Structure 1
Amino acid sequence: MMHMFKKTGLYAFLIIGALVSVAPYLMTLNSAVKQPDKLLTTPAWEPATSPTFANFSQVWGEYDMSSFLWHTFVVAAVVTVLQVVFSCLAAFAFARIAFPGRELLFWAYVATMMVPQIVTIVPLFLLMRQFDLVDTYPGLILPYVFGFGAPYAIFLVRQYFKTIPVDLESAARIDGASTMTVFTRIMIPLSRPILATLATMTFVNTWNNILWPLIITNSDRTRVIALGIATLKSQYASQYNLVLAAAALALLPLVAIFLAFQRNIIRSIALTGIK
C-alpha cells in the first residue's frame, strides 16, 4: 500500500511539473487564435471561444514572416550540420588519439565555456567587419560553429566517445581499419543517440538566439525569426495578437523537431546514466 501511495504521489508530481512546463506554450498557441478584442479581456488559459487564424495570415502576409523563418532555418540547419561534424572530429581526437598536451589542450578549451558570450561579441563583430561579412549568412553562421557552444559540444561528444569500449577499436585495428575507418564505421554509428541530442540542442539554441543576429544583421535579407518578432513587437506594441501569432509560428518548428528526435534524446540520457 505504501509503495502504491509513493508511486501515485510521484506520478502526480510529474504530471503537475509537466503541466507547469508546457503551460506557457499552450497559452501562447491559445492566445494566438483568439479574436483581438478577446485577447486582453480574457485570461490566457481560457480557451478561445471562436478560434481564428486571421492573426497568422495577417502576420504572414503583411510582415513577410516566411522570409524570416527561411533565414532562421537555413542558419540553424547549416550551424547544426557543421557543429556536429567539427565537434565529432575534435572529440574523436581528444578521446582516442594520443598526442603531447592533449589533456591540457582539451581542458583549456573547455575552460572557455566560462567566458560570457557578451565578452566576445565586440571582437567577433570587428573580425566579421574586417572580412566584410556583416549582414551575410557566413557572418551569422561562423561564430556559432567555432565559438558559441562549440566547447560544450566537443565536451559532450568526447565524454560519450570515452564510454565506447576500446576493445572494439582494437579489434578493428587488427582487421586493418584505419583511423578514419574507426571513426566513421564504429564511433559515429554507436554515437547516434548523443549526436541526435547535440543536433537538437544546437538547432534549438541557434533558432532562439537573438543577441548575435541583432549585432551582425542590419537588413531584412538575413533577419532571423527571433529578431523579427522583436521588431514586430516594437512596431505593433498594441497588437499582441500579431506578436503572439508570430511567436507561435516560431514555436511550431521546434516542437516538430523535438517530437522527431525525442526517442534519441531520451535514449542518450538513459545510456549516459547507465554507463
Structure 2
Amino acid sequence: MTSPKRILSTLGVYVILLAAAILTLGPFLLSVMTGLKSPAQFASEDSLALPRPFSLENFTTLLTGPGQFGSAILVTLAMTSVIVIFQLGFSVLAAYAFARIDFAGRRVLFWVYLAGLMVPNIVLVIPLYLMMVELGLRNTFWGLVLPFMFGSPYAIFLLREYFRGIPQDLVDAARIDGAGHWRTLVSIIVPLSKPILATLSLITIVSQWNSFLWPLVITTGPDWRVITVATATLQSQYNGNWTLVMAATTLALVPLVVLFLAFQKQVVRSITISGFK
C-alpha cells in the first residue's frame, strides 16, 4: 500500500510539472488565440477570451498582403536548407579527419579550432559584416548563408567524439577490402552515425530558423528578409495591430512544432547526446 507521504510527494511533482507546462505553453497558446481574433475583439475583450468567431483574416493578410511575409517564409526555408546541408557536410568531413586520419598537429589544430566555441557570436558580427561587404554580398542570399556553411565547432566536436566511438575493427576491415578514406566515410562511418546526424540536423534547423541578429545586420529591405526580421518589422509597421503580429508569430512557430511532432524521438536524443557530450 502506498504511503500518504509518497502520494503527497508524487502529487507535488505533478503540480510542479503542470505549472511548468502552463508557463511554457501559455505564450504559444496566447499567440495562436490572439492571431485568430479580429482587432475589434482584441481591443474590446480580455486577452484570454476565446476568439468569437475564429477568423483567418490576419493570416490571409500576412500571406497575400503587401508586407511580403510569404516571401520571408520562403527565404527562411531556403536559408535554413542550404546551411543545414552544407554545414553538416563540411562538419562530417572535418570530424572524420580529426577522428580517423593521423596527421601532424591533429590534436593541437582540433583544440585551437574548438576554441571558437569560447568566442561569443556577437563578437564576430562586425568582422563578418565587413568581409561580406568587401565580397559584395551585402543584402544577398549568399551573404545570409556563407558565414555558416563551412561547419561549426559544436557540430565537429560532437561528430568527432561519435566517430571515435565507432569500433576500429570495422574501419580496419574496410581497409583490408581496399576501401580508402572516402569509401570508409560513406559506407561505414556515415551509415553508423545516423542518430548524431539527425540530432545535429534538428539543432541546426531550429537555430537557423530562429536566427535574427545576422539577417538583421546583413540585409536591408524586403527582398532577403527572413521570418524573424519580418515579424519584428510588423511590430513597428502595425504598432497597434497585435492580432497581426501574433498571427506572424504563430506562422513562425508552426514549422518548428510540426518538426517536433514528427521527430520527437530525435529531439529527445538530441537533448541527451548534447547534454552528455
Alignment-derived partner of residue 265 in structure 1: 267
**In the aligned structure 2, how far is the partner of 1:8 from the partner of 1:165?**
46
Contiguous gaps of at least 5 residues in structure 2:
none
Give the aligned CA root-mean-square deviation in angstroms.
2.3
**In the aligned structure 2, how far is the partner of 1:180 from the partner of 1:208?**
34
Q: AA paired with 1:185?
A: S
**In the aligned structure 2, how far is the partner of 1:124 from the partner of 1:273?**
29
**Maintained 8 Å contact 1:193/1:265:** no
**Maintained 8 Å contact 1:78/1:141:** yes
* 2:248 is aligned with 1:227: no
**Maintained 8 Å contact 2:113/2:153:** yes
Cα distance 1:20–1:165, how it changes in 2: closer, same or farther (>3 A)? farther
**Maintained 8 Å contact 2:174/2:184:** yes
Name which of 144, 150, 155 aligns with 2:148. 144
Secondary structure of 1:105's counterpart equals helix
Superposed counterparts of 1:201-240, under 5 Å: 201-240=203-242
Instruction: Indicate the larger mover: 49-58 or 33-42.
Output: 33-42
Alignment-derived partner of residue 134 in structure 2: 130
**Maintained 8 Å contact 1:194/1:265:** no
Alignment-derived partner of residue 113 in structure 1: 117
Alignment-derived partner of residue 169 in structure 1: 171
**Maintained 8 Å contact 1:84/1:199:** yes
Secondary structure of 2:263's counterpart equals helix
Alignment-derived partner of residue 100 in structure 2: 96
**In the aligned structure 1, how far is the partner of 2:215 from the partner of 2:274?**
34
Superposed counterparts of 1:149-160, under 5 Å: 150-160=152-162
* 2:202 is aligned with 1:195: no
Cα distance 1:130–1:187, how it changes in 2: closer, same or farther (>3 A)? same
**In the aligned structure 2, how far is the partner of 1:129 from the partner of 1:263?**
42
Residue-pair matches, total: 273
Secondary structure of 2:166's counterpart equals coil
- TM-score, structure 2 normalization: 0.89
Alignment-derived partner of residue 21 in structure 2: 18
| 1:122-169 CA distance string (max 9 Å, x none) | 11111111111111111110112237xx11111122222222222221
- TM-score, structure 1 normalization: 0.90
Instruction: Indicate the larger mover: 176-185 or 239-248.
Output: 176-185
Instruction: Indicate the larger mover: 15-24 or 99-108.
Output: 15-24
* 2:64 is aligned with 1:61: yes
Superposed counterparts of 1:82-93, under 5 Å: 82-93=86-97
**In the aligned structure 2, how far is the partner of 1:250 from the partner of 1:268?**
22
Cα distance 1:12–1:173, how it changes in 2: closer, same or farther (>3 A)? farther
